[in-house]
Amino acid sequence: MKITIIGTGYVGLVTGACFSEMGANVTCIDVDVNKIENLKKGVLPIYEPGLEKMVLSNYRDGLLKFSTSLSDAMKNSNLFFIAVGTPPGEDGSADLKYVLEVAAEIGRNIESYSVIVDKSTVPVGTADKVSKAMKEQIDKRGVEIKFDVVSNPEFLKEGAAIVDFMKPDRIIVGADTDQAKKIMQRVYAPFSRNRDKIIFMSVRDAEMTKYAANSILATKISFMNEISNVCERLGVDVENVRKGIGSDSRIGYSFIYPGCGYGGSCFPKDVKALIRTSIECGFDPALLKAVEYRNEMQKKNLSQKIFTRFGNDLSGLCFGIWGLSFKPGTDDMREAPSIVLINDLVKAKAAVRAFDPVAMDEAKKTFPAKWFDTGKIVLTDQQYDALENADAMVLLTEWKSFRQPSFSSMEELMKQKIVFDGRNQYDPAELLEAGFEYHGIGR
């Protein structure tokens, strides 16, 4: 089977690599010449465990190719996955500019029946817009060519995307014709060998399923963060509450960990987009608005704790930060709580020393260059170097290497023995016994 993937970002590259791993001939297309040339050299634009090895292996074997020419790729393919970005607009709606540009280009070059798959996360009704954009171009050519537009949303967790794709819980396919369903059944057959994981539904149902899935997970996180704030004011340890409610099989333990807010490329964007979609169809999404509001407030939680402890003017103080990415297993810093905290610290005249196992390069792109040039932010090569002369350590990302720190090493390096645990990774009793002052979330 020959597959064309348009877009070599997170979703496109993982999708292309995994399809090629199962023996399909895949061509990944991108308009960014430098990105394509780097991919041909084995330089990936993102960090994802296991992805580099898979890309290099299948590129070497000729199963995975990279190109900037969609029209050339279309000569040998009739299955196209659109995996370009859908950045949020100022009003929170998903910007479909790139999706529709790809649809128009396919319409200008399509020669025979094809299936066009919306892999990007897009609002309900996008498939109709893709179909319209293609048909307009086909009509201009004065030809009649049949095609189907399918919705096949991704459910990839950053840091575990390869496993999620290769061993999916479910494969959602929104298709309106038997011909399109057969093609999608065939392309996903290698991923459904032990049981049929494909769930067929209408295109609009599939588009909504993606937004609903991410929004309910975001809701669980914001709910638990809300409870953590109540617990803190009542002298209750939220971690015991979490264990107590998580033991109920109707609730479960997933996504009920209190912390400093969710981030990344999915939850913030998708909640905003669903809020906007709801408003546009005449419904007031009160719950979704509350989920978003709580998350924004939760990202300020650690800043508020620090200002309460040290005052609003942090001149002369240094904070050692462990973790910059929004979650472990990725270098993604989009909407990360670290951005909010570091901005607050620097604006309050504090010095920041920070370490992350993989997100250091992203940090350099995220914060102003002058902050690095003037020493307001120092990125260290080792995690304990970030604690040198620090007045407090702040944990923001629960990387495994941060989970059992050496208290003696911390004591030797830090000016003050104070820990702000933004992910409730540490046992307060152990830190207190070692002479540290502890500040957690809801504890």
Q: Annotated catalytic sites, by residue?
A: 266
Helix 203-234 × helix 126-140 angle, to 10°: 150
Beta bridge partners of 26: 3, 64
Closest CA to 78 of 150, 162, 159, 167: 150
Contacts of 6 (CB under 8 A, 6+ apart): 12, 29, 30, 70, 80, 81, 82, 83, 84, 102
Structure tokens that stand for 16 in this block = 């292309």
In the chain, the N- to C-terminal Cα span, in Å, equals: 54
Counted residue by residue, the chain has a size of: 443
Contacts of 181 (CB under 8 A, 6+ apart): 173, 175, 200
Structure tokens that stand for 44 in this block = 């990936």
Which strand ranges, in their side-by-side order, compose the sheet holding 437-439?
377-379, 351-355, 318-322, 392-395, 418-421, 437-439
Residues 173 and 181 sit within 8 Å (Cβ to Cβ):
yes
DSSP 270-302: HHHHHHHHHHHTT---HHHHHHHHHHHHHTTHH
Contacts of 316 (CB under 8 A, 6+ apart): none
Question: Rounded distance, CA 394 to CA 386, Å?
Answer: 10
